[in-house]
Amino acid sequence: MPSTMRAVDIENGKGPISALHLTTIARPTPSASQALVKIKAFGLNRMDLLQREGHYPVPPQAPSTLGVEFSGVIEALGTSGGGPENFTIGDSVFGLAYGGAYAEYIAVSTHMLVRKPSELSWEECAGIPETWITATQALYLVSGFAQGKSVLWHAAASSVSISGIQLAKGDGAGAIFATARQDEKCEFAVKELGATAAFNTTTTDWAEEVLKATDGKGVDIIIDFIGGTYFKDNLRAIARDGVVVVLGFMGGTIVKGDVDISPILMKRVTYVGSTLRSRDEEYQRKLRDQLVEHALPKFKDGTFKVYVEKVLPWEKVQDAHRLLEENKTKGKVICTVA
């Protein structure tokens, strides 16, 4: 096996899209509890754009190479073997990593691997780990979702919200609402994903529409990727004893103007932030197990769907980043590794 491999690098360590290029680096060697996976495809995430620009805090154990989700074939195992899942060389898998997926090979803990179902393509599997595990974390571990509760997902056509809407519907949410900045994405959330209703945040008072749709009660759970610009209206739209989970700051980190924070007290609101990549391996493994037990059977029977917007060869990684930055996608952007 060669000691080097091709990988996507960033010229000078950070920069614009034009800084992305293919180069040759050392091939990783799996540690005792890791597997070496030859990558077939990797998924893009918004954190990749931020990391490329130098604006994302990378965990200390992560390699400098971008990418946290992938699919591929196990080519070697560390001295501990295939772990409790009994992975073997030649197994088709997909998985979550702290980084390094924009490459021909990745060394990753066997605790973060999942066997690839024959019903799904390499490209579909590469789009599952980060988005579906993030949605699982936000919905179940952080917000305490249970059957009958209502949920609002901001950024309806983002891959995490696409996953989360399907999870909430599959587990009997009382109502599922969504927001987006384009009518096309709102229609997608309702007609394709099964949301109860979706509201265009650029043309409507979405918080008011949520209150109307819930007879003034508001929603039990809000999953927010926007941040500062939605803080005030999240407090309007959340129900008594509701939970707002913040996963991103696409709208910035500053809350502007005079904002009445009394609903936090009067409604007994829990406003909580959460991340996934910075979590330890044991935490992520538990989420992987929940994905395998809860979601994987529904991928196999077609109940859950991985929405892939575009597949590109990794030589066109600049085009892939550009497509993601345009904010027009409805689902994953995937790169294949030849």
Question: Percent of the chain beyond pLDDT 90?
Answer: 85
Residue 87: how many CB atoms within 10 A of its CB?
A: 19
The mean pLDDT value for 63-92 works out to: 92
Q: Are strands 34-43 and 332-336 parallel, antiparallel or unpaired?
A: antiparallel
Distance between alpha carbon 217 and the CA centroid of its chain, in Å?
29
Encoded tokens for 63: 């390699």
Topology of domain 4-128+277-336, per CATH? Answer: Quinone Oxidoreductase; Chain A, domain 1 (3.90.180)
Radius of gyration of the chain (CA): 20
Between CA 22 and CA 8 the distance in angstroms is: 5
What pLDDT, on the 0 to 100 scale, is given for residue 67?
Answer: 97
Between CA 25 and CA 293 the distance in angstroms is: 37
Residue 228: how many CB atoms within 10 A of its CB?
A: 16
What CATH number is given for 132-273 in this structure?
3.40.50.720
Task: Delimit the domains of the chain by residue range.
Answer: 4-128+277-336, 132-273
H or E element: which one contains 186? helix 183-191
Between CA 33 and CA 20 the distance in angstroms is: 31
Q: What is the pLDDT of residues 235-285, one digit of tens each?
A: 999 999 999 999 988 888 899 989 999 999 999 999 999 888 888 888 888
The mean pLDDT value for 164-178 works out to: 97
SS3 state at 9: strand
Cα pseudo-dihedral 9, 109, 51, 141, rounded to 10: 160
Between CA 249 and CA 224 the distance in angstroms is: 8
Residue 36 has pLDDT above 80, yes or no: yes
The mean pLDDT value for 196-211 works out to: 97
88 near 110, Cβ under 8 Å?
Answer: no
Give 27's pLDDT tier (boundaries 50, 70, 90).
very high
Of the candidate ranges 27-41, 132-146, 224-238, 248-262, the one whose mean pLDDT is the lowest:
248-262
Give 178's pLDDT tier (boundaries 50, 70, 90).
very high
Residue 1 has pLDDT above 80, yes or no: no
Q: What is the pLDDT of residues 86-136, one digit of tens each?
A: 999 999 999 999 999 999 999 999 999 999 999 999 999 999 999 999 999
- What pTM, to 2 d.p., does this model score? 0.92
